[in-house]
């Protein structure tokens, strides 16, 4: 439905060509802005409505009882089966913060959700064998679990800005009636929507420009000329770009067919899907630079390790 609306605005009203860079960029922008803002409003509202029936302190206490990283594993597995790109994972991450779920556990979801994609899994299995496909999925889940555990161990809960703001709301003032609970949830959903609106528009606009105007030859020329450093370079090249795994998979396997090692191509795909400047722009509104840099640094290092592992197996 959202895609049809974006297509109508782009190609019918604005009369842009689907084959042109401008048409591709504008269509991408309209679709993703609407999708992400819709998710932010709906997810945050629903989670806060559910939250009115429980005490946040009890939720946090129950989750804290999960030992041996079980909570991180559950969050990473949940992330692996959700078909979200990096920016689309942010609304659920914010919802987890609203529900007082552990920062480390929430990050396990945020890391894994865009990295492990069912489309990439199936295509990789068909082209390179199911052992490598399962290794890809396992690597993404492991990175989410380990990254979440590290962030949790660093005790960075205070670096979550939105949670610090929400702490000001006293639980004793939680509404008791159904109408009150619904109004409370919608107010928070609307407030979060308004706070993130300019960040979503700015972030997606940046991603749309790169999406529409960056040719495949750029990746071949930039990554293909390096050998031992190709994996970290591919990771750095992928970070500014914003696209979901299902969108970038054809590009990745195309450059693999042109001689780029699988691990290097996979590192590029994971960096594009799991780390992006648009995602950073949106997350900057809900966390400090310190936590944002820690998150990006941990995931980037993990992606580089995964890339070298696949190159060695290839």
pLDDT tens for 279-295 read 888 888 888 999 999 99
* Predicted confidence (pLDDT) at residue 142 exceeds the cutoff of 90: yes
- Predicted confidence at residue 222, as pLDDT, reads 66
Q: Which of 267, 263, 217 is nearest to 238 (CA)?
A: 267
Q: From CA 289, how far away is CA 266, in angstroms rounded?
A: 27
Domain count within the chain: 1
Query: What percent of the chain clears pLDDT 90, i.e. is strictly above it?
Result: 14
188 burial via Cβ count (<10 Å: 0-12, 13-18, 19+): buried
**How many angstroms separate the CA atoms of 195 and 89, rounded?**
17
Lookup: tokens for 172: 């004793």
Q: How far is 22 from 184, CA to CA, in rounded Å?
A: 41
pLDDT in tens, 92-120: 888 787 777 888 988 999 899 888 877 77
Q: What would the mean pLDDT of 14-42 be, rounded to a whole number?
A: 84
Alpha carbons 237 and 282: distance in angstroms, whole number: 20
pLDDT at 172 over 60: no
For residue 46, how many other CB atoms are within 10 A of its CB?
13
Q: What is the pLDDT of residue 294?
A: 94
pLDDT of residue 55: 61
- The reported pTM is 0.73
75-101: average pLDDT: 77
Cα(35)–Cα(7) distance, integer angstroms: 14
Range of the domain at 178: 2-313
24 SS3 class:
helix
Number of other residues whose CB lies within 10 A of the CB of residue 122: 13
Say what the pLDDT of residue 145 is. 94
Per-residue buried b or exposed e for 245-280, using 16+ beta carbons within 10 Å of the residue's own CB = bebbbebbbebbeeebbbbbbbbbbbbbbbbbbbbb
| Whether pLDDT at 217 is above 80 | no
118 vs 268, more confident:
268
Q: Which residue has the higher pLDDT, 143 or 214?
A: 143
Residue 166 in this model has a pLDDT that exceeds 80: no
Tens digits of residue pLDDT in 193-208: 887 788 778 777 876 7
User: With bands split at pLDDT 50, 70 and 90, how would you rate the model's confidence at 225?
Assistant: low
């Amino acid at each position: 439905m959202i895609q049809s609306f974006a297509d109508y605005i782009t190609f019918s009203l604005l009369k842009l060509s689907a084959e042109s860079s401008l048409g591709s960029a504008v269509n991408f922008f309209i679709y993703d802005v609407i999708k992400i803002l819709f998710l932010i409003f709906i997810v945050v509202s629903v989670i806060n409505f559910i939250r009115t029936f429980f005490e946040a302190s009890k939720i946090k206490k129950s989750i804290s009882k999960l030992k041996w990283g079980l909570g991180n594993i559950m969050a990473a597995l949940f992330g692996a089966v959700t078909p979200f790109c990096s920016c689309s994972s942010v609304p659920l991450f914010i919802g987890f913060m609203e529900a007082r779920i552990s920062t480390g556990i929430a990050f396990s979801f945020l890391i894994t959700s865009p990295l492990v994609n069912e489309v990439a899994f199936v295509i990789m299995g068909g082209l390179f064998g199911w052992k490598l496909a399962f290794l890809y999925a396992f690597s993404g889940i492991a990175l989410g679990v380990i990254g979440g555990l590290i962030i949790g161990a660093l005790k960075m809960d205070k670096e979550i800005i939105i949670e610090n703001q929400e702490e000001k709301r006293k639980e004793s003032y939680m509404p008791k009636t159904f109408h009150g609970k619904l109004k409370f949830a919608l107010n928070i959903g609307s407030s979060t929507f308004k706070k993130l609106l300019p960040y979503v528009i700015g972030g997606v606009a940046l991603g749309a420009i790169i999406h529409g105007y960056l040719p495949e030859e750029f990746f071949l020329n930039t990554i293909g000329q390096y050998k031992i450093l190709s994996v970290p370079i591919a990771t750095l090249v992928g970070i500014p770009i914003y696209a979901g795994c299902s969108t970038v998979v054809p590009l990745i396997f195309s450059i693999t067919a042109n001689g780029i090692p699988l691990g290097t191509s996979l590192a590029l795909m994971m960096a594009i899907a799991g780390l992006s400047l648009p995602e950073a722009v949106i997350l900057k509104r809900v966390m400090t630079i310190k936590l944002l840099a820690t998150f990006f640094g941990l995931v980037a290092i993990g992606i580089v390790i995964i890339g070298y592992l696949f190159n060695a197996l290839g």
